[in-house]
Amino acid sequence: MKRVLLTLEYDGTGYAGWQRQLNGLGVQEVLENALRDACGEPITVTGASRTDGGVHARGQCAHFDTASRIPPDRFPFVLNTRLPGDIRVTESREVPPAFHARFLSAGKRYTYRIENARHGSALTRLYAAHVPVPLDLIAMQASLPSLLGTHDFAAFQASGGTARTTVRTLRLAELRREGSLLVLTVEGNAFLYNMVRIIAGTLMEIGLGKRAPDAFTRAFATKDRLALGLTAPPQGLELTRVYYDPEAFVHPEKLRWHREEKEDAT
Amino acid sequence: MKRVLLTLEYDGTGYAGWQRQLNGLGVQEVLENALRDACGEPITVTGASRTDGGVHARGQCAHFDTASRIPPDRFPFVLNTRLPGDIRVTESREVPPAFHARFLSAGKRYTYRIENARHGSALTRLYAAHVPVPLDLIAMQASLPSLLGTHDFAAFQASGGTARTTVRTLRLAELRREGSLLVLTVEGNAFLYNMVRIIAGTLMEIGLGKRAPDAFTRAFATKDRLALGLTAPPQGLELTRVYYDPEAFVHPEKLRWHREEKEDAT
């Protein structure tokens, strides 16, 4: 029996999200079916992040256990022939039995894209939110430094959130223009349910002049969800990368499991 | 009666190409149906470029005549509510009755994208060709200057080509890396059928070391299609922009119609 870690890319358009679920097809289910077919045994995968329906991933990570003799680094080749084109395995490696894709993740990077053009775009409609009114990029950028560091992000979660603690640390929050796209990049130790989409929705309202650039600071003080903007639509969001401490690949048992912080990461 | 010029963006994935045709749905047909619905009269549109199935457009241009009272600059609003999300009208303007989207075009810019990564990409699969072996970017770039200027591109067309002359002028041919994507941009006065996809396919073979960087020069000399590489797949290609002489919007009758050169532009 060995534990294998996969790195995955997927186009979330056709899926009801990462998780196996009743109301639609989850990426997890498609992956587990391909693994069962390849390994000849039922396999359950555990993802680092439970992305919502329509959310994309460039670097999702997921682990599973198998008794098969497939060399651990061969899973991209073995699985990509069995998976649809909108799910690709880009890397695989053996990890110690105590490794855990979700509870040991040391951080994640998400990207959120906003198409800011009057008439929307046929080419980015599945990969960006559309805002038809010109956004004030400077005001949006000015609000971002207040997100950095360790804060209680209690106001930054959808009502379904069940995290034991809502304290999170962001180490990167950056917004840049690429043609008609505004591209938000955030990186932190962990994220609450819908946290990135709430940050993106608030930024849009700041850019529209509907909300002051100190909205994030106020939300930290009041812990009030209503101090922030609407949850931005899923198709703009991409899980870009999952980070692990190098020790996680060698002596994972020495690391503290961040179970309480990772309970509801988006 | 007035003539209106539209600028269009479309995701070619779901279409059999620009042209109305029997074996599948053309973008032209969907656009003509939306125009008939909006204007209350049957309308025929003439596109600047007849893109193939799966080929995308960021800046296709097309003209039509209408007796409707819709203000000529309102067509993006009028049509986008009637069109599917994978076709967007981004601009419209009235042009003189002698204007012609195709025969008066002074040039076009195309972009061809190659995903150069071992395992392909779930996110670019519909917008890039995939080459799993590392390409020699330097060799590919070295071959590009030979394309510039005026040449007989007879070797650079698919067998279906019916152009009266195969002399074309390229004014831009550029290849750059953006992460795992190689992005080719070409601009010229006009293009033969499949010309950009043949250039892209030849570049891939140069990048793989299967063909010498002087392949284009040899093809000009021999006029032999076999001196060039395979036609690269359609999903990597995007019609980025169509150029017109400013005079075309004022006194189009003073301009020579480039009918013979535009007969089969891709």
Q: What was the pLDDT predicted at A259?
A: 55
Whether B76 and B36 have beta carbons less than 8 Å apart is answered as no
Closest CA–CA distance from residue B229 to any residue of chain A (Å): 26
B52 is catalytic: yes
pLDDT grade for A161, boundaries at 50, 70 and 90? low
A24, burial (CB in 10 Å: exposed 0-12, middle 13-18, buried 19+):
exposed
Residue of B80, B123, B127, B237 to mutate for A, most A C-beta atoms under 10 A: B123
| CA dist list (Å): A225 to A110, A215, A231, A257, B195 | 21, 11, 10, 28, 55
A237-254, pLDDT tens digit by residue? 999 999 999 999 999 988
Amino acid code (one letter) for B99 = F
Task: State pTM to two decimals.
Answer: 0.91
Q: Which of B183, B63, B201, B71 is nearest to B127 (CA)?
A: B183
Average pLDDT, integer, range A29-41: 97
pLDDT at A262 exceeding the cut of 50: no
Q: Which residues of A touch B56 (CB under 8 A)?
A: 123
On the question of pLDDT at B45 being above 60, the answer is yes
Q: How many other CB atoms are found less than 10 A from the CB of residue B192?
A: 26
For range B197-210, the mean pLDDT:
98
Would you identify the CATH topology of the domain B2-102? Alpha-Beta Plaits (3.30.70)
A2 pLDDT higher than 80: yes
Q: Which residue of B has its CA nearest to A125?
A: B85
Which CATH number is A2-103 given?
3.30.70.580
Q: Which of these, B37, A204, A105, lies nearest to A215 by C-alpha position?
A: A204
Angle at B23 between CA B20 and CA B28, to 5 degrees: 15
Q: Which stretch of DSSP H or E encloses residue A92?
A: strand A87-95
Place of tokens 């995955």: A8
Structure-token pair, residue A142: 């000015």
Q: Mean pLDDT lowest for which of A40-49, A154-163, B6-15?
A: A154-163
Q: Give the pLDDT confidence of A164-187 residue by residue, as tens digits.
A: 899 999 999 999 999 999 999 999
Closest by Cβ to A88, choosing from B86, B89, B120: B120
Contact B161, B231 (CB under 8 A): no
The two three-digit tokens of residue B186, written as one number = 């070409």
- Cα dihedral sign for B260, B148, B183, B139? positive
Res B265 pLDDT > 90: no
First and final C-alpha spacing in chain A: 30
Residue A219: CA atoms inside 13 Å, Cβ hemisphere, count? 26
Q: Would the CA dihedral through B35, B36, B40, B44 be positive or negative?
A: positive
Chain A hits for B123, Cβ within 8 Å: 9-11, 56, 58, 127, 238
Q: What is the predicted pLDDT for the residue at B23?
A: 82
The verdict on a CB contact (< 8 Å) between A88 and B121 is yes
Note the pLDDT of residue B150.
97
pLDDT confidence bin for A158, thresholds 50/70/90: confident
How high is the pLDDT of residue A264?
A: 46
Domain-by-domain residue ranges, chain A?
2-103, 107-240
Residue A97: Cβ within 10 Å count: 11
Classified by CATH at the fold level, domain A107-240 comes out as Alpha-Beta Plaits (3.30.70)
Please report how the helices B195-207 and B215-222 are oriented relative to each other, as an axis angle in degrees rounded to 10.
130
CA-based nearest distance B91→chain A, Å: 9
pLDDT tens, residue by residue, B204-256: 999 999 999 999 999 999 999 999 999 999 999 999 999 999 999 999 988 87
Residue B259: pLDDT band (50, 70, 90) is low
ipTM of the complex: 0.87
Q: At what angle do helices A195-207 and A215-222 cross, to 10 degrees?
A: 130
Q: Say whether A107 sits in a helix, a strand or coil.
A: strand
Least CB-CB distance to B58: which of A76, A123, A125?
A123
Name the residue with higher pLDDT: B159 or B86.
Answer: B86
Q: B260 to chain A nearest CA, in Å?
A: 32
Give residue A164's pLDDT.
80
Q: What is the pLDDT of residue A70?
A: 97
Burial A192-203 (b: 16+ CB within 10 A, else e): bbbbbbbbbbbb
Q: Among A76, A86, A120, whose Cβ lies nearest the Cβ of B122?
A: A86
* The CATH number, out of the four listed (3.40.50.720, 3.40.50.800, 3.30.70.660, 1.10.10.10), of the domain defined by the range B106-240: 3.30.70.660
Strands (E), chain B: 2-10, 46-47, 56-66, 87-95, 105-115, 129-130, 149-152, 167-178, 181-188, 237-244
Instruction: Give the separation between CA B214 and CA B220, rounded to whole angstroms.
Output: 10
Q: What is the dihedral of CA A120, A186, A231, A201, to 10 degrees?
A: -60
Task: Answer whether residue A152 shows pLDDT above 50.
Answer: yes
Looking at chain A, the whole-number percentage of residues with pLDDT higher than 90 is 90
What's residue B160's pLDDT?
66
Residues 205-244 of A with CB under 8 A from B: 238
B87/A11 touch (CB, cutoff 8 Å), yes or no: no
Does A107-240 match A2-103 at the fold level? yes
CA gap A205, A229 in Å, rounded: 6
Using a pLDDT cut of 70, give the percent of chain B over it. 95
